[in-house]
Every structure is written in C-alpha cells, then in structure tokens.
Structure 1
Amino acid sequence: MATRYTKYRVNGFVFSSNSKDDCLVTQDSGVSMRAITTFRASGEDKNPKEAMTTYYGVISLKNLDASTAPL
C-alpha cells in the first residue's frame, strides 16, 4: 500500500510536491543537490573525469508500507 502526500515536514524543512504546486501562484517543489559525479565523453571513454555538479529535480512524495501489502 502506498500513501501519497502533497506536503511533508522533516527536520525543520517543508517539502511540497509538484501536484501541490499546480494549484498555487508560487511554486516550491523544486530541489537541488551538489554531488561529485563521473563524466564520460562517450561509452568508450577510457579517461573519465570526476567533477562537482548540481542536480535539479521535482519532488514526488510517496510512503510505501510493505507490512500491509498482500502477498
């Protein structure tokens, strides 16, 4: 069983889902994070490079409860 939320509060932060933003004048569902990742020029690249990059996304909040799922 999965429960879907439009807003979630954790550690003092409030996260809003993309569906919640659809009915608002302002939008607050975007997130970003910085991470070191490996870049390759192609699949055959033998000299990959590591660099800091920023990933952007949109929040979709779901809570999965495996204890109530039928077997």
Structure 2
Amino acid sequence: MIRNIGIEEGGRILTDGNRTIKFERVDQGYEMYELSGNRYTRCGIVNADEETTDTDLWNMTTDDLY
C-alpha cells in the first residue's frame, strides 16, 4: 500500500514501506529523489500532472526506475 507521508514545497513524499521517494514538481512532471540513509538522491523524472493519484504516480515511477 502506497502512503503519502508528506508534502514539501509543492512536492509529495510517498512510501511503500520499503522505499521512500520524494517528488518535486517541475514544468512537465516531477523530479524524483529516493531516500537513501538520511538523504535524498535524484533518481529520475516522471511525466505526470498534479491530478495523478499517489498510487498511479508510484506505479509510473517504479516502472521507470533503474
């Protein structure tokens, strides 16, 4: 189950319990940063709008990561 654990400066922070990814809004989607230890590391960009649900955003992201 995907949970939204925070909103930070217009972005979203989502987790599935194993991974935590921060999404920062950019022109055509979101830049993604994965939590590693106590810092976020940039891991890509996903094309999505603000109306995209947390679950759909997570699924689009994990399909494209690495």
User: What TM-score results when the alignment is normalised by the length of structure 2?
Assistant: 0.22
Larger Cα-atom Rg: 1
| Larger relative contact order (Cα-Cα within 8 Å, sequence gap ≥ 6) | 1
Task: Return the structure number with greater helix share.
Answer: 2
